[in-house]
Each structure stands twice: as C-alpha cells, then as structure tokens.
Amino acid sequence: MKLYRFLTSKDDNDERDKNFEKLPKEIQKKWIDILDEVRWLDVDYYGELFHKYKGDLETSMCICHDSYLKHIFKLKEIADEGLDAYFKIEDISEEVLYSKHDTSVYGDKKDIVQRFLDDYIIDNIKKDHILDKINLYGLESLTENDKRILRDEPYLSNIEL
C-alpha cells in the first residue's frame, strides 16, 4: 500500500461535481465503488505551504494500491474536463515511513493528519524500512518508534509520545 497526498484547487469543486453528475449512473456507481476501496482523509487546510495557486488548495490523502491510482487519475480527468484546475499528487509513503514528513504544515489539522499517518505506519512499517532509514540517514535518525519496531514492540501513536 502507498500513501499519496493530493493538492487540488478548491474553488473548482462545484464544477467537478457537475462534470461527474453528467456521467451515466452506472459509471458513477463504478467510480464510487472504486473510491470506496481507498482510505481517504480530506483536510481543509489553508496554510502557507499550499496557499494560493488559483484560490485556496485543498489537501487530501489516500492509502491505496498503485493499481487504484490510474482510476483516480481517470476520474480527475473526467471531473476536471473544461476547467483550469490545479492537481498535484505526491507519493509520501517513504517520507512518512522514514519519519521525515513535516506535519506542522497542517496547522490546527496536525493531529487529525498524524492519526491518519500513524494508521498507515502501523499497517505498513517493517524492520526493513528501519534498516533502510539507518542506511540513508544514520543511526541518529532513529525515533523511539523505530527502536520499538526493531525490538518487536508495538508502534505507539506519535500523538501519544
């Protein structure tokens, strides 16, 4: 499973909905079924990092298999037809697993995002990730949770630490 962050222009959401509603009902249902297979977090966040492309940007995160990504891209293509919409997707899986993702950029949504990231880490972290992190960043980069994983102890939420 991978963790992706989506940045989209928020002010185009009504037009996206109209484009989606133009699709036949059976196609709409197919897309909804696909999206229901994915874990989503929508964050209405207006911080400095994502502020002002064309209006404010909306941040979403999803946990899914790579195979779902092509479906998500196709849906975005349909929804954004005729729009001057901004859309960016980033694979933040390793950044999160290596404890390098800066959650402070989410302002007052930081704890909500951290819980989502913790769920991803708990379901996906392996000792190999910790060993790769040591190779990339050195022993001093290890967090308390990294050490717990290496000792076969359960991961603790970063909010609890």
Q: Quick one: 103 and 85 in the same domain?
A: no
Is the pLDDT higher at 105 or at 128? 128
Q: Quick one: 84 and 50 in the same domain?
A: yes
Mind listing the pLDDT tens digit for each residue in 56-88? 677 889 999 888 888 888 887 887 788 777 788
- In this structure, the chain runs to a length of 161
Q: Quick one: 133 and 59 in the same domain?
A: no
Q: Which domain holds residue 158?
A: 92-161
Cα 9 from Cα 88, distance rounded (Å): 10
The residue out of 91, 114, 135 marking a domain boundary is: 91
pTM metric for this prediction: 0.82
The residue out of 53, 76, 91 marking a domain boundary is: 91
Q: Quick one: 85 and 97 in the same domain?
A: no
CA 14, distance to chain mean position in Å, is 22
pLDDT value of residue 45: 55
Q: Quick one: 48 and 125 in the same domain?
A: no
The residue out of 91, 119, 148 marking a domain boundary is: 91
Is the pLDDT higher at 50 or at 62? 62
Q: Quick one: 52 and 119 in the same domain?
A: no
Q: Which CATH number goes with the domain that contains 86? A: 3.30.70
Cα 99 from Cα 76, distance rounded (Å): 30
